[in-house]
């Protein structure tokens, strides 16, 4: 299950930022390394909220900067 | 809830002939906003689109949805809206289902999917009467002045 979840997240992010899954390193910085801007960032957040029926508070968005962080962060939210 | 053009002009930077909201009809908190635009015979775009067969261009329906969405943004983020930031439409995924012609009253409904200080995502609908004429998912960004 864990791997499936991580793969799902990777696929979702990959589709939005148009970077192939195989090139998405867990620690690559969305903004510095992957060219994510505020538009792409909000698309990722909106897609997450819709798919996993969760709310990501605005104040947390700037702290989610790579795939590893988004996976950890959303796992935490699931527990709440 | 009713806002007229004068109030709308305090929020939207657009002016005639590129102001596509006549009234705000309904505001549901920060979730949803409904606005309208009467499509008149003498709209500037009908002259060429198309001679003798006037149809409102789909891109302008998107523009009208985007303008309604700016007002929704203002309601969600009044402290930023009051500074008159620049609004940029970044992405639009749209479907056009039925033509809009002179005499139609275009009802524009925009729903908050996610709105932050810097950007917004909305799902918008355009209706004429009960008929949905267009749907769109819009992503826009906000750049504050100064």
Write the CATH number for B59: 3.10.129.10
Residue B50: cis peptide before it, omega within 30 degrees of 0 = yes
Residue B30 confidence (pLDDT) above 70: yes
Contacts B141 to A, Cβ<8 Å: 37-39
Q: Percent of chain A beyond pLDDT 90?
A: 71
Select from A75, A26, A25, A22 the least CA-distant residue to A48. Answer: A75
Neighbours of A51 (CB within 10 A): 12
Q: Tell me, what's the ipTM? A: 0.86
Neighbours of A72 (CB within 10 A): 12
Structural domains of chain A, with CATH: 2-79 (1.10.1200.10)
Q: What is the pLDDT of residues B97-125, one digit of tens each?
A: 999 999 999 999 999 999 999 999 999 99
Arithmetic mean of pLDDT over chain A: 89
Å between B35 CA and nearest CA of chain A: 24
Number of domains in chain B: 1
Contacts A44 to B, Cβ<8 Å: none
Q: Is B84 a catalytic residue?
A: no
Q: What is the pTM of this model?
A: 0.93
């Amino acid at each position: 299950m864990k791997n499936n979840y991580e793969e799902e997240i990777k696929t979702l992010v990959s589709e939005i930022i148009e970077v192939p899954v195989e090139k998405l390193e867990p620690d690559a910085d969305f903004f510095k390394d992957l060219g994510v801007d505020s538009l792409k960032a909000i698309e990722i957040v909106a897609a997450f909220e819709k798919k996993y029926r969760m709310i990501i508070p605005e104040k947390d968005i700037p702290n989610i900067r790579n795939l590893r962080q988004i996976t950890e962060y959303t796992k935490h939210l699931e527990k709440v | 809830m009713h806002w007229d053009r004068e109030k709308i002009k305090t929020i939207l930077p657009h002016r005639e002939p590129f102001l596509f909201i006549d009234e705000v009809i309904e505001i549901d908190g920060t979730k949803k906003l409904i606005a309208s635009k009467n499509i008149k015979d003498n709209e500037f775009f009908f002259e060429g689109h198309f001679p003798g067969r006037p149809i409102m261009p789909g891109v302008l329906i998107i523009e009208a949805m985007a303008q309604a969405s700016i007002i929704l943004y203002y309601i969600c983020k009044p402290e930023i809206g009051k500074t008159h930031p620049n609004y940029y439409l970044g992405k639009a995924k749209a479907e056009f289902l039925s033509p809009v012609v002179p005499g139609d009253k275009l009802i524009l409904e925009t729903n908050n999917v996610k709105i932050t200080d810097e950007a917004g995502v909305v799902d918008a609908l355009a209706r004429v009467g009960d008929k949905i004429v267009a749907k769109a998912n819009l992503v826009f960004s906000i750049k504050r002045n100064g």
